[in-house]
Amino acid sequence: MPDVLIAGAGPTGLLTAFELERAGVDVLVVERDAEPTTQSKALGLQPRSVEVLADRGLLAAIEPHVQAKLPAGHFSGVPIDYTDLPTCFPYQLGVEQAHVTAAIEARLRTPVLRDAAVTAVTQDDEGVTVTAGGREYRAGWLVAADGGHSTVRTLLGAAFPGSPARISLVVADVTLSAKPAGLAEDWTLPSSGSGYLLPLSGGRYRTIVFGEEQQRLGRDAPVTVEEVQRALTAAHGPGVLVGEVLWASRFGDASRQLEQYRHGRVLFAGDAAHVHLPVGGQGLNLGLQDAVNLGWKLAATVRGTAPEGLLDSYHAERHPIAARVLVSTRAQAVLGIPDPDAAAVRQVFTELLAVPEARRAVAAELSGIGVTYPGITGRADIPVSADGRAVLVGAAVPPGWAGRVEGREGAAPRLVRPDGYIAWNGGPGLEESLHRWVGAPA
């Protein structure tokens, strides 16, 4: 019996599995799809995600697939310079999501169980019973990382308040038998507006289209070559010819968030916990950071060493972060409305975002570099422990904590949580911080 069952082998589920495994926890990931996806919703990694992946040695396998290092993010298409962010990675990596998931999956000890959709969940005081792919599994805990239409969320009847989608868009990867004149063959920012074309590998182009036709068609209507052609012709003129639609999907601006990330022994993460318009490149990154926050806390809980309240601090820390992203993406959606009033607001916003202080604040938020939690004083510039332990730098490990905390030489004193956040940076309060984040001494 695994300690933790994870529903969904998207980026969130896979990184949660990785974090748990490196902390010595037995994990089983169950995934609905029979094969790993080669399609990518997201095309970008924000700087904080790059930091985390680099720290865990996962970046090297992603790097060969990187198509661009973009020195800026964007707020509804308004470029936000990242170059002065306090990080070794002051840029977005332009890379297809499928390469990120493949790199993480390749490092899991236990293979993902595919063709195994979760269809039933019950829980009691000792654990969870999950039916996946028609078989019953028992585990101590369940992490629901089964995406925006989360089955686990529905099965548990978990409240998911927010607003329904009002706009409808299509994402499509296409081949072109004729390209519009002047089409950029490298990645430029911002990429926005209906019909933008971004070159992917292998002669594919990514486009997102929206307009009256998409608004009229139902969510389940198939996306046809003709529909994409009409939208691209409207954007680029008759010079563009779609060859094939290789992959397409409809999406919208529904904005919802779970009231509680923890339901007994079930913890929600990633899109299963929050959905919003994918603007500003936030969703994948939010899910990866959920995984990194949850992994070490759940591992300590499984091992029986977690201090009281540690697991609940996952909801306490991560819920406000996603709530803020929902505010940001809602605002970005409004700025994108093609109407003169929204255009006026957009103009004012663009001017305000040129003010260095404003730009820096938005850059910190979009990049994830500015994300912090109560009591945290910063992010560590040292690798976190390979087995997911807290690291104490520049101070002797107090008696009783040896083995629970990794002691390291270093100049600046600090206690680094396994997710890389600094919980103590010298002075009084070390024992209190150890009690809060590491637990009682052995």
List the one residue from 91, 251, 296, 421 that touches ligand FAD (CB under 6 A). 251
Tell whether residue 252 is a contact of ligand FAD (CB under 6 A). no
Cα separation, 40 vs 79, in Å, equals 23
List the one residue from 209, 284, 302, 380 that touches ligand FAD (CB under 6 A). 284
List the one residue from 2, 11, 140, 252 that touches ligand FAD (CB under 6 A). 11
The continuous run of DSSP H or E covering 365 comes out as: helix 356-367
Query: What sign does the dihedral 48-51-55-60 (CA atoms) show?
Result: positive
List the one residue from 4, 5, 7, 139 that touches ligand FAD (CB under 6 A). 7
Cα separation, 388 vs 417, in Å, equals 9
- The CB-of-84 to ligand FAD minimum distance in angstroms stands at 22
- Total of residues contacting ligand FAD (CB under 6 A): 34
Chain centre to alpha carbon of residue 429: 32
The interface region with ligand FAD, picked from 276-284, 299-307, 328-336, 398-406 by CB under 6 A, is 276-284
* Strand-pair category, 390-393 with 405-408: parallel
State the burial class of residue 124 (Cβ atoms within 10 Å of its Cβ: 0-12, 13-18, 19+).
Answer: exposed
Tell whether residue 255 is a contact of ligand FAD (CB under 6 A). no
Q: Which is nearer to ligand FAD, 121 or 240 (CB)?
A: 121
- The CB-of-240 to ligand FAD minimum distance in angstroms stands at 20
- The CB-of-367 to ligand FAD minimum distance in angstroms stands at 11
Q: Which is nearer to ligand FAD, 42 or 176 (CB)?
A: 42
Distances (CA, A) of 440 to 181, 327, 344, 386, 402: 66, 38, 57, 22, 11
Contact string 169-208 vs ligand FAD (x = CB under 6 A) = --x-------------------------------------
Three-state DSSP class for residue 151 = helix
Site for ligand FAD in 78-137 (CB under 6 A): 97, 117-118
The continuous run of DSSP H or E covering 331 comes out as: helix 312-335
Dump strand ranges (E) for 201-358: 205-209, 241-252, 255-257, 262-263, 266-268, 274-275
Nearest to 383 by CA among 361, 367, 406, 400: 406
- The CB-of-120 to ligand FAD minimum distance in angstroms stands at 10
Residues of this chain that bind ligand FAD (CB under 6 A): 7-13, 30-33, 41-44, 97, 117-118, 145-148, 151, 171, 251, 270-271, 278, 281-285, 287
